């Protein structure tokens, strides 16, 4: 997330991944309580590792992602690091319940950070709108649809104003 945010206050890969990882663990527990077969620790690990490639590549702006294959570059970064490639590939394929939760939590973390930036006076409405739409789409996918009400409640009870999460 760049959008005119000064580097000194910009979110780090580490803080984003940590927030996504904690959210993934909690949301996985909610699913497990509803009888869904899921491993909260794996969901959390996938969320923790999903952006590790960015530690080598940096957060690529959209214009760069158009010119290079970001997924291939991230896969190469994981190969260079020698760890987490299996978690990254599971995240990208989004076939497992754990990967679906990690993807949702990646989006939730970015959305929450955008709300924090807006509260600080930065113009991030486009990011907020984009991630609202993505979160709503993800919450319609099984098994995430089983905890839609809880995710919305989590968002509404944060100290941040929730926009159009349905």
Residue 67's CATH number: 1.10.3210.10
CA pair distance 58, 14, nearest whole angstrom: 12
Instruction: Name the domain count of the chain.
Output: 1
Q: Is residue 166 part of a domain?
A: no
Q: Is residue 47 part of a domain?
A: yes
Angle, CA 81 vertex, CA 80 and CA 82 arms, to 5° = 95
Give residue 68's pLDDT: 67
Q: Can you give the pTM of this predicted structure?
A: 0.83
Q: Is residue 122 part of a domain?
A: yes
Q: Is residue 123 part of a domain?
A: yes
In this predicted model, what pLDDT tens digit does every residue of 78-125 receive, in sequence order?
677 777 778 988 999 999 999 999 999 999 999 999 989 998 999 999
Q: Is residue 1 part of a domain?
A: no
In this predicted model, what pLDDT tens digit does every residue of 43-79 receive, in sequence order?
999 999 887 777 666 665 565 556 666 667 667 766 7
Angle, CA 166 vertex, CA 129 and CA 17 arms, to 5° = 60
């Amino acid at each position: 997330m760049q959008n005119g945010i000064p580097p000194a206050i910009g979110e780090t890969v580490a803080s984003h991944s940590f927030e996504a990882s904690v959210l993934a663990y909690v949301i996985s527990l909610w699913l497990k309580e509803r009888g869904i077969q899921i491993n909260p620790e794996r969901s959390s690990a996938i969320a923790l590792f999903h952006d590790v490639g960015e530690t080598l590549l940096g957060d690529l702006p959209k214009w760069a992602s158009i010119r290079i294959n970001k997924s291939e570059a991230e896969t190469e970064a994981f190969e260079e690091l020698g760890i987490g490639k299996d978690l990254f590939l599971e995240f990208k394929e989004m076939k497992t319940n754990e990967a679906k939760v990690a993807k949702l939590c990646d989006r939730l973390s970015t959305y929450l950070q955008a709300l924090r930036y807006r509260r600080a006076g930065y113009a991030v409405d486009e990011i907020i709108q984009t991630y609202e739409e993505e979160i709503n789409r993800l919450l319609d996918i099984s098994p995430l649809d089983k905890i839609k009400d809880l995710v919305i409640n989590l968002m509404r009870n944060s100290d941040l104003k929730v926009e159009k999460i349905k």
